[in-house]
Amino acid sequence: MPRPPIFSMMTDDEIAELDPVTYQYPFLTCAAYENSDLLTVYAFLSRNPSLVERYIEQTTHQFAAEDRGGENGSKEKEKRHDDDDGEE
């Protein structure tokens, strides 16, 4: 007997929940899986289409924070380097 698709067994709350390890929504995990099909990804997203917008927003904020952290990190390195030069 064929097993029901995983998305049909998940609640709406589970579909909108980030995986604690990968920090991805189920539709992303499914899309990244080598043997997944587009129909399954579509089925996840059709249950909660706003997840795409939410994911875009989260990743945009994450990348912006990383960019700010990278800039601050290099400024801190420059400052330490300047301080070292002044002490000699």
Domain with 76 in it: 7-87
pLDDT at 80: 44
pLDDT at 78: 47
Task: Answer yes or no: is 33 within a domain.
Answer: yes
Task: Answer yes or no: is 1 within a domain.
Answer: no
For the chain, the domain total comes to 1
Radius of gyration of the chain measured on its C-alpha atoms: 21
Task: Answer yes or no: is 2 within a domain.
Answer: no
What digits encode the pLDDT tens for the residues 19-73?
Answer: 899 888 888 888 888 888 888 888 889 989 999 998 889 888 888 888 888 654 4
Q: Please give the backbone phi and psi of residue 38, each rounded to the nearest 5 degrees, phi first.
A: -65, -30
Span 73-81, average pLDDT: 46
